[in-house]
């Protein structure tokens, strides 16, 4: 890749007398000299922009993976459980009604276990909302029975609900389907928002790469023009720009992706330090573990590499279209 003008004897003697200085007839672009400068202020700025965009995109993708995983775990746990609520009714012994409901539940096909919450446990469930030290003896606190199913959807809910309502006063059965539907809607909304944010990040990065490519072409306009008009193929020139921006994109992508991985590792360490604390238990209950796992880190690596290739392809496309316009 060079345009060589053979130096004359006078040029050679002049070069010998002044070593280290280029003569007017010297090679305009040496074979070992890249078409686009490897290190420049614009290149370093583009690496920084790509690193920031990759970091934000990786954080968004990783957060979506964590929330989707937590939602899946919640759904699998809750879908195997149902709750029977027995309200106090005038003229009925609530303990006897609870015993009848528990017996019906244990006799229902598909039910693995039925755990009865006594009055003290039911009052303890209300303490976070009502506070401690209150006398709840006069309050009509319902009694709860938590049912665990052998398989999801293994019990005939219609027959089970009818058997309960026919035999037990003040009873209701909650199969958590409404809560599961809302949970699925929330998780899907988070994933959609994450995808939109990621697309916006890609669009912003594409604009940055486009401006950087045009700037590099403007800075090397004379060389590009000479190569084009002396017969160098457009694919060759575009490929040189693609290699340059692919290196920049790969460098920035790995930096941003690496920082995102470190962020998730640090979050996991902080969560491990908060184990057995109220805040740590709530975070684990809501989001599960902050550990992405192998698939999560591979997804971040794929994002970094994909952004690098997108950078190179975007640069190649812009340069190729520019050269086609010169013809």
Residues 6+ apart with CB under 8 A from 163: 104, 108
pLDDT band at 136 (very low <50, low <70, confident <90, very high): low
Q: What is the pLDDT of residue 52?
A: 92
Match 């920035």 to its residue by tokens: 252
Distance CA(251)–CA(259), nearest Å, equals 12
pLDDT at residue 8 greater than cutoff 70? no
Q: Where are the alpha helices (DSSP H) in 37-176?
A: 41-78, 94-107, 119-130, 157-167
Q: Where are the domains of the chain?
A: 36-75+187-326, 80-175
Length of the chain measured in residues: 327
Q: What is the pLDDT of residue 257?
A: 92
**Is the model more confident about 228 or about 83?**
83
Residues 6+ apart with CB under 8 A from 34: 240, 244
Selecting from 3.40.190.10, 3.20.20.150, 3.40.50.2300, 3.30.70.100, what CATH number does the domain 80-175 have? Answer: 3.30.70.100
Phi then psi dihedrals of residue 145, to 5 deg: -130, 120
The tens digit of pLDDT for each residue in 142-161 reads: 888 888 888 766 667 788 88
**Which of 95-99, 126-130, 299-303 is predicted with the least confidence, judged by mean pLDDT?**
126-130
Q: What is the pLDDT of residue 266?
A: 87
Instruction: Output the six-digit token pair for 302.
Output: 């794929």
């Amino acid at each position: 890749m060079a345009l060589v003008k053979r130096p004359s004897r006078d040029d050679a003697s002049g070069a010998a007398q002044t070593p280290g200085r280029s003569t007017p007839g010297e090679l305009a672009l040496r074979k070992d000299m890249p078409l686009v400068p490897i290190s420049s202020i614009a290149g370093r700025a583009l690496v920084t922009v790509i690193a920031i965009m990759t970091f934000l995109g990786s954080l968004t993708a990783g957060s979506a993976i964590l929330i989707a995983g937590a939602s899946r775990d919640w759904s699998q746990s809750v879908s195997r459980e149902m709750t029977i609520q027995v309200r106090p009714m005038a003229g009925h012994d609530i303990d006897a009604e609870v015993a009848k409901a528990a017996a019906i539940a244990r006799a229902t096909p598909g039910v693995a276990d039925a755990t009865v919450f006594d009055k003290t446990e039911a009052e303890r469930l209300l303490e976070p909302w009502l506070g401690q030290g209150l006398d709840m003896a006069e309050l009509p606190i319902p009694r709860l029975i938590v049912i665990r199913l052998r398989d999801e959807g293994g019990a005939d809910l219609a027959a089970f609900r009818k058997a309960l309502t026919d035999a037990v006063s003040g009873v209701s059965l909650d199969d958590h389907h409404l809560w599961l539907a809302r949970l699925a809607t929330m998780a899907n909304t988070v994933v959609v928002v994450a995808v939109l944010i990621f697309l916006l990040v890609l669009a912003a990065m594409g604009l940055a790469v486009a401006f950087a490519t045009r700037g590099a072409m403007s800075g090397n306009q004379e060389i590009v023009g000479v190569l084009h008009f002396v017969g160098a193929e457009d694919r060759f020139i575009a490929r040189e720009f693609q290699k340059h921006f692919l290196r920049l994109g790969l460098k920035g992508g790995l930096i941003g992706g690496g920082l995102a991985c470190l962020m998730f590792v640090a979050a996991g360490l902080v969560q491990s330090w908060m184990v057995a604390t109220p805040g740590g238990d709530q975070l684990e209950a809501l989001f599960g573990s902050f550990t992405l796992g192998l698939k999560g880190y591979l997804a971040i690596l794929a994002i970094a590499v994909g952004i690098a290739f997108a950078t190179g392809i975007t640069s190649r496309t812009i340069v190729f279209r520019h050269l086609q316009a010169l013809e």
